[in-house]
Amino acid sequence: MKRAVMLLALALPCGAALADVTTAERQVQAQQLDAAEATLRAHLAGQPDDTAAQFLLARVLSWQGRPEQALPIYRRLLQQQPDNADYLLGEGQALLWAGHPQRALESLERAAQLAPDYAEVQQVIQQARAALTVPSTAAAPVPVVDAATRRRHELEISARQDWLDSGFDNWRSQRLDYASTKPESLGWYGALTREQRFGEWDEGVEAGAVIALDENWTLQPEVGYQPSPYFLPEWHADLRLQRRLPDGYLGAVSVRRTEYETTRVDRLALSAERYWNAWRAGYTLNVTDVANAGTPIGHDLALDYYYQGLSYAGLRLTVGEEEAVEEQQLITSDVRAISLQGRHWFDSRWALSWEIGHHQQGSYYDRQWLQLGLRHAF
């Protein structure tokens, strides 16, 4: 009997510890954060080395809007377990909510290296990148909780020059692009375009929207119109449906109709993307129906590397068949194209967009191009 009492006495602290943490977890689930904090602090006063209680307390403090108080706890935990992805995620979230998105990315990207399939890490990385480019007119950092929900506007003016061989005249184009975005909310964009080919100028307008149907589904309609086209289509309409998938994957399907003066083109595109660490990879299968000109099939590959928030550099490859306009006639031919592109943000307001590439349009011509743009966020 005495031995049983002694064993029970030895087990009580462990049982009480588990009960305290379990109680705090239930209080968190019931949104009783103040009560959970009190439970955990009382518990840690007697057992200061309980890492599970420390971790939950750090999370509770962050959820209460006190991430600065959570950060010392995360630092102590990471001193003991520097490769714990949960601790790194928690520290990254606290840094983000404390207004330090660049420091948050350092912790989050390390967590992504340790746990590449950790979906929540990838989501918070995207939030940190978005917060990095929210413009601020104040000297102090913009609170990231506000930054992540503020509407963002961007305006870009760009110019492009294409050099063609086989006796074709060079091409020139200018664009004025505008976009308005807000996380998990309605976004819209538009563009004014002006292009010169074959000694003629075409001008047009484009407009589209990004509609968040829920946290996973997005619908994107787009239309374009050229009032008096010489080589561009009279109009086009595109509808894209995108689904966010686990482990950093995205899937999308889109349909597009392009109407020329003498013919029309219908296209079905199936896309898959994957985000991991600072990388994005994408593949698109294009199946096109060209009236009286066959059904060309093409493949697009993309690989992007993100740095300093939303700055990126990327590679694009295109192989297969596609349609093109040559001297007011629609043709289809084998295509091989490669390009490098990117956007470098100098600060939260100004960025340089760039692209260079080489395009082989079957046996008709080879084309090289350079495009530069200046982008402003406000």
Q: Does 267 have pLDDT greater than 70?
A: yes
| pLDDT number for residue 258 | 94
CA distance 341 to 171: 19
124-149 pLDDT tens trace: 887 787 666 544 333 333 334 444 44
Q: Largest alpha-carbon pair distance within the chain?
A: 103
Provide the pLDDT for residue 1: 46
Q: And the tokens for 38? A: 């009190």
Instruction: Please give the C-alpha separations between residue 268 and each of 68, 82, 99, 261, in angstroms, as whole numbers.
Output: 50, 47, 43, 21
Higher pLDDT, 80 or 215: 80
Rounded distance between C-alpha atoms, residue 218 and residue 181, angstroms = 13
DSSP code for 346: S
Measured in degrees and rounded to the nearest 5, phi and psi for residue 301 equal -120, 140
Summary mean pLDDT of the chain: 85
End-to-end CA distance of the chain: 76
pLDDT value of position 148: 45
The answer to whether 353 and 342 have CB atoms below 8 angstroms apart is yes
- pLDDT, tens only, 324-366: 766 556 677 899 999 999 999 888 789 999 999 999 988 888 9
The answer, yes or no, to whether residue 121 has pLDDT greater than 70, is: yes
Same fold, 2-140 and 152-377: no
Q: What's the CATH code, domain 2-140?
A: 1.25.40.10
pLDDT in tens, 164-197: 998 889 999 999 999 998 766 788 999 999 999 8
Q: Residue 66: helix, strand or coil by DSSP?
A: coil
Mean pLDDT (whole number) for 273-279? 81
Contact 65, 33 (CB under 8 A): no
The region of weakest confidence among 7-11, 104-108, 259-263 is 7-11
Q: pLDDT (tens digit, 9 = 90+) per residue, 234-261?
A: 999 999 999 988 777 889 999 999 998 8
What is the pLDDT averaged over residues 206-221? 90
Q: What is the per-residue pLDDT for 14?
A: 46
Least confident segment among 13-17, 18-22, 263-267? 13-17
pLDDT value of residue 308: 73
The pLDDT, as a whole number, for residue 147 is 45
Nearest by Cα to 356 from 372, 342, 369:
369
Cβ burial of 60 (10 Å; 0-12, 13-18, 19+) is: buried
pTM for the full predicted model: 0.68
Residue 62 has pLDDT above 80, yes or no: yes
Q: What is the pLDDT of residues 287-324, one digit of tens each?
A: 998 876 678 899 999 999 988 767 899 999 999 988 77
For the chain, the residue count is 378
Reported as type and span, the H/E element at residue 125 is: helix 119-132
pLDDT of residue 18: 59
Q: Of 157, 135, 153, 134, which is closest to residue 374 (Cα–Cα)?
A: 157
Task: Say if residue 13's pLDDT is above 80.
Answer: no
Model pLDDT, residue 176 = 98
Residue whose entry in the numeric block shows the structure tokens 């009480």:
16
Mean pLDDT of 151-176: 93
Inform me whether the pLDDT recorded for 71 exceeds 60: yes
User: Residue 35: what pLDDT?
Assistant: 86
pLDDT at position 271, please? Answer: 97
Q: Which contiguous run of DSSP H or E holds residue 144? A: helix 144-147
H or E element in which residue 325 lies = strand 311-326
Q: How far is CA 358 from the centre of its chain?
A: 26
What backbone torsions phi and psi does residue 55 show, to the nearest 5 degrees?
A: -65, -45
Residue 144 pLDDT: 41
Superfamily covering domain 152-377: monomeric porin ompg (2.40.160.40)
At 196-208, the pLDDT tens digits run: 987 889 999 999 9
Listed by start position, the domains of the chain span: 2-140, 152-377
